[in-house]
Structure 1
Amino acid sequence: DVVLLLLLRELPYSCCVCESREWREAKRDGHRMRGLSLVALTTSFLRSAPRASLSWVLLGVTRATYSSAFSSATPVLWGGTSLNTPYFSGKTSTTSPLLFKHLAVRTMATARNAEADADVTHHVAEDVCPSWLNPERTRVLTKHTTNLAQNDKKHEKACIIYWMQRDVRTVDNWALLFAQHLAQTCEVPLKVVYCLPPPPPAQTVDNDSHGNTLPPKVWDMPMTERHGSFLLGGLEIVERELFEKGVPLEVSMPPDRNTVGSTLKAFAIDQKALAVVCDMNPIRHFRSFVEDQAAPLLDASNIPLYQVDAHNVVPVWHASPKKEVGARTLRPKINKLLPQFMNHFASFEGNAHMDNEIKLPPSSKKSWKTFRDYLNLDSSVPPIDWAQPGHEAAMKQFESFCSVGLKNFDTLRNDPNHATICSNLSPWINHGHVSFQRLALNVRALKKHANGTAAYIEEGVVRRELSDNYVYYMGEDYDELSGAAQWAQDSLELHTSDEREWLYTLDEFERALTHDDLWNAAQLQLVQEGKMHGFLRMYWCKKILEWSESPEVAL
């Protein structure tokens, strides 16, 4: 049996006497996060070792800690056990094992119930979902849910709308496939809309707590030509693919960031939408577009809004009901659910179910120059040649990786001297041009290079989806220092006034004008190629912290 130590956050880590590596790691990370409740700490262990047979609990507490932590509550909490008993002096004892067994059972049940209660996600009803879609992959974001089986199927102008945001592809897209299923069920056409991200307003100057000027955040800076070209290029390809399936694509240009939801709602009303399906993006601005703006407006108009996590293999809200402390706590949860969600995609048929051919405007008349002008792109960062947008280009890059880099991926992926080992698929994955679930299915189907395959799926599923977990559950603060663990915040604050040997401005960082040749090389690769080797990113980030006036400025 695993020996479980239930320690309050005030207890020092040195008090732990533990025979379980998993629990020791969970306790260590839990101790760093002040305010972590006993239930949350227990839950962390239960999640990391779900098959553990836990029979009873031992508490190893020094006399000094016991006196300060429990004080006069000793007789009440521990049945009158004296501080001088062998049990609390760290020696072997058989004192009152039934008391601790009872405590363990109650705590385990409370922990599991707490996590169950925390998952209040409302999924689409099973009778609405097709057999190939897990209901847990969906969320219902409106109170109003139309009984689609009883809608007026004879309404010629009714439709189902897919609001495309993060997953810009027609292949292997769970959200698009679910929207197609609803359209087929209701015998109405499917339509797709994409809302371009409104350019940022005029920048304002902010200062940190020490008076240092803070650089603007990425969201508050104009989109670069490199980013915008890849985005629009992917949309053009999607429009052609949709056109071939008889599905129209509407690209809207909201007046500003506060009107994205109303723009979507106006389009849904104009098209007499029976329902709107959207994909999932954990970034706060996109969540605001969906949850704060669009959802209430659609709900008031009696139009249900369904969200589908088409980006993660295991839906972010189902993989864990809370922010995980690291990959080691998320990994067992993901691995437990992978067989349930790592299934093959249905085929995208578009509007093939419609008897009458849908009249679409010629694809060539779409004003892509107008969209480019609307985005107000920053031309100082030009496009790159090695990464072309679209699903087809992504799969070509993937095939190249499988033939060259996969066999050594487990041993050489962290060596920057081997440029062909990593997949270099981040541009396509991050822009939603390819589903990592497709890549995982295909790399498994090769049935070779077992170690490389396992390492690749670990990086692409556990590690990548850990980032979504962090952003999703941090809400507004994921890019603030308050999003860090408390021990990290304390350490940064402690060393804020330390003298810096080197200090650089944002412009010097951008132009790679530091004293460090390795750092400069990494920055130049980012500027010239649009990417940086994964192992060098950690070094690159840490040096920005070391060479900036304050942690706030560095972040």
Structure 2
Amino acid sequence: MHAVPAERISTANDLPIQDRGRYVLYWMRAARRPFWNFSLQHAVQRAIELQRPLLIVETLACDEPCANLRHHHFALDGMADNARQFADKSVAYHPFVEQQPGQIGALLTQIGQETCLLVTDEHPLLEQRQQLSALAKALPICIEVIDGNGILPLRATDRDFTTAYSFRRFLQRQLAGHLLTMPLADPLRETRLPQLKKKPEILSKPESTFSDNLLKGQHNSLYQLPIDQQVQPVKQSGGYQAAEVLFERFLAEGLPRYVEQRNQPEREITSGLSAHLRWGHISPHQLVQRLLTQEGWTPGHLSLECRGQRSGWWGLNENSEAFLDQLITWRELGYQLCHRRDDYQQVDSLPEWAQQTLNHHADDPRPYLYSAEELAASQTHDALWNAAQRQLVREGRIHNYLRMLWGKKILEWSPSPKAALKVMIDLNDRLALDGRDPNSYSGIGWCLGRFDRAWGPERPIFGKIRYMSSLNTARKVSVKNYLRRYGPD
């Protein structure tokens, strides 16, 4: 068993390990997968060192912002995958779907009384950090927090990055060493841990066994939960198995055409893994390793020049380099932002130049103004925007290129940048399977100037914010079939 790099390990309190505890507890809340999981790897290592059984508890909250049927269905697919995978392993796995607010905290507090050590996933979102802080105050045991969020550890830098270029340049100087410290593909392979002879009594109570029925496909029980019942499930399946199938298909069919066609809404060229990454069903480390292995890559391919260039640094073909830039540079830029700031959902977190230009044009006349309800219902004059919003409602996603247009037009049609940001976050968090994710918040903020630069000419409403229009988009990419596919019901 290989040790997890020290810079990926932190503690939520200063308490010691309880030698009298019966087991090591891994609270699975972000890295929801059995493979390529630094947290699971560390929990296994601790269980070996302490000669204790390992109890894995994966939780799904009902009181998180925007909890709904769509998100719960997707997460439950992953839980079912995990239950099957852990069934014949030397660990005890227990899925727990909260039925009333506060049950997860009560569950962990009670289980923690018999725990010698609690290991959990680090998550950069504010509410997740606050939840962990509250648990650390309630539990009299050591809590170790493991960062498996990206190829670059969250604490590998102590500075803010204002552009993708500056972050990419930093990555090119620092990333090589982290590529050599990947998590184990299967932390439980050929591992024998002591058996947990008796689960904590609370795991046998009705509020705990409720989750077992859900994993057996009895999803009607979801309609009993205090979650948003209006946002319906979609066809896309969650779980690590579905994620791996998607990625293999992308490598074979999408990657060879990625640069040329990824911005075409009528082509399924992108990986489609954004939701799986958000829910932790697949690791970015696994994706990077799989791609590099396919390309026959070695560290010797890396360029000695670290100038922040978009291509050429990896020593790969242009398609692979473009995909890695999206997966690492742009995704992890969002994670760094949310890790360092609490105001990432606020206009005040935008760059100073963006705030100034938006404020300067705050009183500009808006040719069109739409309410949040009209936008949610795709009731605008813009057929392409309406189609993108319908895709979000029906499928829980928008094509990546049109997602940028979607955000820009909300800015144009809202009474203020603050109102626009609120609408974008609300629609995305509720409807998108990858909502409530650092990568989503950075993408939404980009529509208002985050990680971008000032553009000219200066325009009404937008000021120096990069401008997009549906007319220009339709000239650049083919949308005829997209409009037909996502037309009115």
Q: Distance in 1 between matches of 2:420 and 2:230?
A: 22
Contact 2:90–2:193, Cα closer than 8 Å, also in 1: no
Q: Which residue of 2 is the match for residue 189 of structure 1?
A: 53
SS at match of 2:341: helix
Q: Which whole-Å deviations, capped at 9, do the CAs of 1:419-475 have from their partners, x for residues lacking one?
A: 222111111111100001101110111117721111111110111000111111112
Q: Which 4+ stretches in 1 moved above 3 angstroms?
A: 250-263, 354-365
Bigger-Rg structure (1/2): 1
1:379 aligns with 2:229: yes
2:93 to 249, 261, 266: 249
Q: Which residue of 1 is the match for residue 432 of structure 2?
A: none
Q: Distance in 1 between matches of 2:82 and 2:58?
A: 11
Contact 2:100–2:225, Cα closer than 8 Å, also in 1: no
Higher relative contact order (CA 8 A, sep 6+): 2
Q: Which residue of 1 is the match for residue 320 of structure 2?
A: 453
**Alpha-carbon deviation of 1:381?**
2.5
Q: Which residue of 1 is the match for residue 279 of structure 2?
A: 431
Written as runs of structure 1 = structure 2, the 5 A alignment for 1:126-525 is 131-146=2-17, 152=19, 158-199=22-63, 219=65, 221=66, 223-252=67-96, 260-261=104-105, 263-269=107-113, 272-291=114-133, 293-298=134-139, 301=140, 303-318=141-156, 320-342=157-179, 343-346=181-184, 347-349=186-188, 352-354=191-193, 358=197, 366-368=212-214, 372-373=222-223, 375-385=225-235, 387-417=236-266, 419-447=267-295, 450-475=317-342, 477-525=343-391
Amino acid at match of 1:144: L
**Alpha-carbon deviation of 1:339?**
2.4
C-alpha change, 1:364 and 1:528, in structure 2 (3 Å) is: closer
C-alpha change, 1:450 and 1:503, in structure 2 (3 Å) is: same
Q: Which residue of 2 is the match for residue 205 of structure 1?
A: none
Contact 1:409–1:452, Cα closer than 8 Å, also in 2: yes
Q: Which residue of 1 is the match for residue 440 of structure 2?
A: none
Q: Distance in 1 between matches of 2:238 and 2:211?
A: 21
Contact 1:228–1:377, Cα closer than 8 Å, also in 2: no
Q: Distance in 2 between matches of 1:163 and 1:189?
A: 14
Q: Distance in 1 between matches of 2:198 and 2:89?
A: 12
Contact 1:165–1:195, Cα closer than 8 Å, also in 2: yes
Contact 1:401–1:420, Cα closer than 8 Å, also in 2: no
SS at match of 1:405: helix
* Corresponding residue pairs, total: 389
Q: Which whole-Å deviations, capped at 9, do the CAs of 1:72-130 have from their partners, x for residues lacking one?
A: xxxxxxxxxxxxxxxxxxxxxxxxxxxxxxxxxxxxxxxxxxxxxxxxxxxxxxxxxx6
Q: Any stretches of 5+ residues in structure 2 without a counterpart?
A: 297-315, 422-489
Q: Distance in 2 between matches of 1:486 and 1:356?
A: 56
RMSD of aligned C-alpha atoms? 2.6
C-alpha change, 1:429 and 1:336, in structure 2 (3 Å) is: same
Q: Distance in 2 between matches of 1:350 and 1:451?
A: 35
- The TM-score with structure 2 as length reference comes to 0.74
Q: Any stretches of 5+ residues in structure 1 without a counterpart?
A: 1-129, 201-218
Amino acid at match of 2:357: S
Contact 1:228–1:375, Cα closer than 8 Å, also in 2: no
SS at match of 1:330: helix
Contact 1:230–1:388, Cα closer than 8 Å, also in 2: yes
